[in-house]
Structure 1
């Protein structure tokens, strides 16, 4: 990979010329399906030295970020349907959670390839958010049920039926709230673990009105929190990225250069930049989160709907032509 000094911010004028010039590292798995939409989910571990990918063809693999040869990766076998979401425990280097449409959620010790725990019978699960303290996850299914799960318990801690179509979820950094995106273009702010609305207004003609972030004209499908809690970013099928400040919850700016639905969002480690992925268009779009300015398009061979910025440097993992690829700074391994 081309090297940029880790933990060093790059000015927007420099980044907009640097990113398009980078050549990707390709992580090639000859045994997986190479259709463009095969990779459904990508996640970095907390140290940024491993990357997990989950695929439509049921392949679940963890790659060493500096060793793209498939022989240096770890395949985790057991799911019987598409892997819809993966996430590493935020406080453990190699504990992974995987969510599949087979209705099974698994917790893995990647080093030993052992299943630490599994929870079955959850329906067609497709969303996942790990609490920042690492103690539990929230998983959602296509019947709009949210489950609180533990890596140590074989049944859900609690189940919460949602009143609207729920597309995606993420935690706040204190683990006291979750944000859920909905099919009507809004984002809900819920207390955790009660799942009650965090903010309500007592109107004369409508009691207990819930504060909703209404920033999209159609379904809201992506959500990501700024690493220093400055903004909540949401993306919709209307091709918009909305940035909300987290004090009064006003929409302070929108990014409008996406082509097609915003399927994934990711902030850079310093929060200065945000990348959006879509299953339409010619590449990844990168924006300045402080201004909303579109900085550049990183061209890809096929539309890149899954994007994830590394947690500690300017490196972006993304799906292209059915393979995992990374542009940016190396971790420095051999």
Structure 2
């Protein structure tokens, strides 16, 4: 079995007891972040999945979105007026993923359906590097040190790239499509959700299986140990801030929670609204929000018990969700735009 994943050092923050969660958020209103010019240009064509990806920077002072209109927008969550935001252009197709460097507040990576990853300095609004030829890419994840980026593409191709080099560092072929990946906190392994519903545990940067059953399997089967929690494609994986749980979401409308000590599936959460496209833990690891694509509403559950805690009402499905890294603020997609609900508890 693979060893457990070491968590990062957490900054002390005020927690929110489960009994108070619903009442706390019922008193708050969500804030829309939208560009009227974009809404006008896209009248009649934007849908609930127009916003493809949401990402916070490490300090929670910026939040970026990637859209089907080929643009990226970086917002100051405290200033929702569009004039305080930054628009980044350069992709020739839909921006499928955005992700801030985990150790650099102003370095943003964007992944386009054009098979290009672009690296941005959001302070200067400049593209500082790009890597082309990544095929029909669908997901990416930074290693925890912010030194390299792992990109997955249709057909099972994995590409390791650097923000400072314009060519691929290395490539690897997987048995099937890989979806949204997650790194262990020490960066030595990566969890890769697969089309067959399983999650492989691979070394990094070697990308070789590192977990195996201690006995011989039938000749037609590999003795590689994989995480089994879904009966449909597994679309996303997310490691808790404490490193104690790995959450996976699938096309079967289930979130599975695995204990990283023994890698057993501890709980499954099934009261969700269709295929799970994104998962996000609160900064303290106590709660999980699941972004689903078939019906309105965002369900929040307790990571400890798996119990339902709260439902955020939305007008449309919200496949992209992201908790802020330092406070109880949830960014999510609704009606094709960004909304954020929450309060900086440090200011209370």
1-side partners of 2:216 and 2:306: how far apart?
37
Pick the aligned partner of 1:249 from 263, 266, 290: 263
Unaligned runs of at least 5 residues, structure 2: 1-11
- Give the secondary structure class of the aligned counterpart of 1:201: coil
State how far apart, in whole Å, the 1-side matches of 2:24 and 2:343 are: 12
CA RMSD between the two structures: 1.5
In the alignment, is the contact (CA less than 8 A) between 2:111 and 2:117 conserved in 1?
yes
After superposition, what is the alpha-carbon deviation per residue over 1:37-73, rounded to whole angstroms, capped at 9, x for unaligned? 1000000000001000000111211011111111101
Q: Following the alignment from structure 1 to structure 2, what is the Cα–Cα distance between the partners of residues 138 and 331?
A: 34
Matched, 1:147 2:156: no
Q: What pairs up with 1:104-183 in 2 under 5 angstroms?
A: 104-183=116-195
Alignment of 1:1-334 (within 5 A): 7-32=13-38, 33=42, 34-206=46-218, 209-330=223-344
Corresponding residue for 1:3? none
The separation in 2 between residues aligned to 1:23 and 1:267, in whole angstroms, is: 21
**SS state at 1:37 partner:** coil
Report the Cα distance in structure 2 between the residues aligned to 1:205 and 1:277, rounded to whole angstroms: 37
Whether the 8 Å CA contact 1:66–1:330 is kept in 2: the answer is no
Cα distance in 2 for partners of 1:216, 1:146 equals: 22
Give deviations 1:176-220, integer Å, cap 9, x for gaps: 000000111111110001111111125334476111101111111
1:293 and 1:77, CA in 2 relative to 1: closer, same or farther beyond 3 A? Answer: same
Higher mean displacement: 36-45 or 199-208: 199-208
Q: 2: CA distance between counterparts of 1:321 and 1:309? A: 19
5+ residue gaps, structure 1? 1-5
What per-residue deviation string (whole Å, max 9, x for no partner) do you get for residues 280-305 of structure 1?
22211000000000111110011111
Relative to the length of structure 1, the TM-score reads 0.95
TM-score (structure 2 length as normaliser): 0.91
Q: Which has the higher strand share?
A: 1
Query: SS of the residue aligned with 2:37?
Result: coil
CA deviation map 1:138-165 (0-9, x unaligned): 0111122110010111101100111122
1:167 positional shift: 1.6
Tell me the number of residue pairs that the alignment of Structure 1 and Structure 2 aligns. 328
